[in-house]
């Protein structure tokens, strides 16, 4: 039996077993979910008609695949991956459009012939938002510091990808953004003010509260 180091790291077949049990389950869930997202993007691609949406899908698929590979590597080795995690940037960032204009009510598709870019982009947005949440929850459960960083660094990227899809949907009125009445919005905006002065924190000699 190999001796365990002072940091609790064992080696089997050249792999460092520097992961906790709960961490292994969470990492499996993250990798499985990422495979599902990639597969769903691939399946959806055949139904996309708008070139702009097709470009978004392909760009995000390539980015996610590269980070899936990085996650696999750092998970298997417990060490820093051979490449750094990169940053996802939205090309041609636009401003969101506020307000609602009339649109026909939505209903489930009756056949594959009814599949439209509005539905595909909405499905993509749901997948990306779900995986962003999973990455966040899993990263705070990681005990291995490298895997924690690899997962945490992807959260912001998935947030950016979700926002890119939202902007596409918003531009085409697939995702409309209602606003409150001006008076209500101003009241909400002014409901909080910055803290001023120095807070009077209780000292170590403060009397106990019973």
Joined tokens for residue 10: 């064992």
Distance CA 115, CA 113 (A): 6
The reported pLDDT for the residue numbered 21 is 78
Residue ranges of the domains in the chain? 20-86+116-175
The reported pLDDT for the residue numbered 83 is 87
Distance CA 4, CA 17 (A): 10
Per-residue pLDDT of 86-98, as tens digits, reads 999 999 899 999 9
**What are the residue ranges in the chain where pLDDT is below 70?**
1-17, 204-210
The reported pLDDT for the residue numbered 45 is 97
Q: What backbone torsions phi and psi does residue 188 show, to the nearest 5 degrees?
A: -65, -40
The reported pLDDT for the residue numbered 111 is 93
Distance CA 172, CA 202 (A): 55
Q: 20-86+116-175: which CATH number, 1.10.3720.10, 1.20.1260.10, 3.90.1150.10, 2.60.120.480?
A: 1.20.1260.10
* CB 44, CB 124: distance < 8 Å: yes
């Amino acid at each position: 039996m190999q001796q365990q180091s002072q940091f609790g790291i064992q080696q089997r077949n050249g792999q460092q077993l520097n992961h906790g049990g709960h961490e292994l389950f969470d990492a499996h869930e993250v990798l499985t979910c990422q495979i599902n997202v990639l597969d769903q993007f691939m399946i959806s691609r055949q139904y996309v008609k708008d070139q702009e949406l097709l470009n978004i899908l392909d760009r995000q698929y390539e980015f996610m695949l590269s980070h899936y590979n990085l996650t696999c590597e750092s998970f298997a080795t417990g060490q820093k991956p051979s490449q750094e995690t990169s940053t996802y940037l939205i090309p041609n960032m636009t401003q969101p459009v506020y307000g609602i204009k009339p649109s026909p009510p939505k209903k489930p598709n009756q056949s594959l012939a009814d599949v439209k870019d509005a539905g595909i982009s909405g499905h993509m947005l749901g997948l990306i938002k779900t995986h962003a949440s999973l990455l966040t929850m899993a990263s705070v459960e990681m005990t291995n510091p490298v895997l924690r960083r690899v997962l945490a660094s992807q959260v912001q990227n998935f947030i950016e990808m979700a926002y890119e899809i939202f902007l596409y949907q918003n531009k085409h009125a697939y995702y409309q953004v209602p606003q409150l009445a001006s008076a209500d919005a101003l009241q909400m905006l002014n409901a909080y003010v910055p803290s001023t002065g120095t807070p009077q924190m209780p000292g170590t000699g403060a009397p106990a509260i019973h």
